[in-house]
Chains A and B, each alone.
Chain A
C-alpha cells in the first residue's frame, strides 16, 4: 500500500514533535525549579512524557511500514494487553491449553485476517467461533470449578485485547472514495483525538473537577473533566479534519463519539481493576502502568469509529 501524501504526514509529525517538545520543555523547567528530591507528581509527569515519546516513535516507525507495520504493531499491543488481562483474572491449571491458544492462535489469526482485509471473517471470528469453541474446550477438559467465571474472563480478554484493538489496523482495509492510499491518516486521527481526550479530561478534571462522576468506580473522573475533555477533543477533531475524508463538522462529531466511547472504556477498565483489587494493569510503561492503562480508551473507541467510517464513508 502507498503512503499518504508527504505534506500531511509532515504537518502531522511536526505537530506531534512540537507538542511533545513543548511538554518536555515545560516539565524540564518545572523539574529544574522544584525542590529536590522531586515530588512524585513531577516524577510521574516526566515518566509519562518520556513514555509518550516512545509511543510516538513506535507508531511513526510502524506508519512508514504501512499496513504490515501497523498490523504487527497492534498485534504486539494485543499481546501485551492480553497478557495483562489474563494475569489479572482467575484461571486454573486446566485452562493451560485454552490460554496458550489465545496467544498462539487467536492473536496471529485475527491479525492475519485483518492484514488480508477479510472483513467477513475478522468481524466474527472471535465473537462467534472463539466465543463458542473456547468454553467447549474448557468443558471437554472436565474442570467445572468456577466454570462460568473462567470462560467469561477468557471471552472478555480476547474481545477487549484482541478483537477491539484489531479494529485500529482494520481501518486500513476501508475503501473510502477519494481517500485512496491515505487510510493511515485515519489511524492517526483516531489515536490523537482519543489519547488527546484522555489528557484533556485529566487537565480539566485537575483544574475544574468538583463533581465526581462515579466515585464507586474511579476517584479521579469528574463531570467537569469529562465535559471539558470532550469539547476540547471535538475541537481538536475539527482542527484535524484535513487528515480525514470528513468535513470539519463531521470530524468534530466523529471525534466526539470516539472520545465518549474512550471515556466509557476507561470507566469499564477501572471497574475491572477495582473488582480485581489492583490500581494498574501492569508495569510495562514507566509512569503509565500497563499497556491496558494507556489503551483502554482506544479499545472502546476503535470498533465504533471503524463502523461509523465504514457505514457513512465507504462504498
Chain B
C-alpha cells in the first residue's frame, strides 16, 4: 500500500517555511514572473505539466502559484534520485512536500499511476514533468511519457495546464548547485484535454506541441 498521508489542505510548519523561503529566493535570483497566457490562476484541481531541465524548475513553478494553491500542489519526483538517501528523502517529502514515484517499479503497489491517482483523489493538484527526466540534450523538449495521458483518462475532470519554464536550465544546469542569476518567466498556457477517441500517442504529441508553443523566444538557440 502506498504510504501517502497528505495533510488536508495545509502545510506543516517546515513546509510553509521552506516554500516561502524558496519562493523568495527564486524571486531574488530570477525575478520570476508568471505569464498567464490562455489560463488564469485558480484553486481548482489541476495537473501542471512543464518542461524539465533543472532541479530549480519545480521551485520556480511553485513560486508562481499562490500560497494557498501551493499548499495543495505536489511535484512528482523520481524515487530513484530523491529516495536515494535519508537526506534527499527528507528534502523531497518533508520540506518540499513532493511525491516520490519509482520509474522502474517491481511491486504493483508502487505503480506510479496509482500513487498519483491517490494524490488526485485527495483533491490535490500535481506538478508533472512528462519528459520523465531532466533534459540535457539540445532538443527543446523530449518526447512525453504516457503518464499524462493515463492520468487524464482516469480523471478527465482535472485540468491539464501546460507551463513553459524559461531559462532555468541556464540558471541551474544539471550537475551544478550554485544558481547564476538570470531572469526567468513561467508561461501558463490554455488547458489541454483528450479529444473523444484521441489515441495516446497523438494526444501526447499534441500536449507536447502546446507546451512548446508557449516558449516566448523560440528562435533562441541555447
Contacts and interface: CB of A to CB of B under 8 A. Distances in A.
**B is a partner of A:** yes
B166 to A, nearest CB: 9
Interface residues of B, number: 16
Contacts of A83: 31, 181-183
A278 B220 CA distance: 11
Interface string B168-192: 0010010010101111010000000
Given A83-B31, A87-B167, A91-B170, A282 B183 contact: yes
B219 A103 contact: no
A93 B181 contact: no
A79 interface: yes
A105 to B, nearest CB: 12
Contacts of B33: 283
A79 B181 CA distance: 9
A93 B182 contact: no
Interface string A89-100: 011110010011
A103 B183 CA distance: 14
Nearest to A277: B219
A283 B180 contact: no
A284 interface: yes
B183 A283 contact: yes
A128 B167 CA distance: 31
Nearest to A103: B181
A278 B217 CA distance: 9
B182 A87 contact: yes
B176 A87 contact: no
Contacts of A278: 217
B183 A92 contact: no
Contacts of B181: 79, 82-83, 86, 103
A283 B173 contact: no
A96 B176 contact: yes
Interface in A71-129: 79-80, 82-84, 86-87, 90-93, 96, 99-100, 103
13 contacts: A80-B31, A83-B31, A84-B183, A86-B180, A90-B221, A90-B222, A92-B222, A93-B170, A103-B180, A278-B217, A282-B31, A283-B33, A283-B185
Interface of B: 31, 33, 167, 170, 173, 176, 178, 180-183, 185, 217, 219, 221-222
Given A82-B181, A283-B33, 14 more contacts: A79-B181, A83-B31, A86-B180, A87-B167, A87-B182, A90-B221, A91-B222, A96-B176, A96-B180, A100-B178, A277-B219, A283-B31, A283-B185, A284-B31
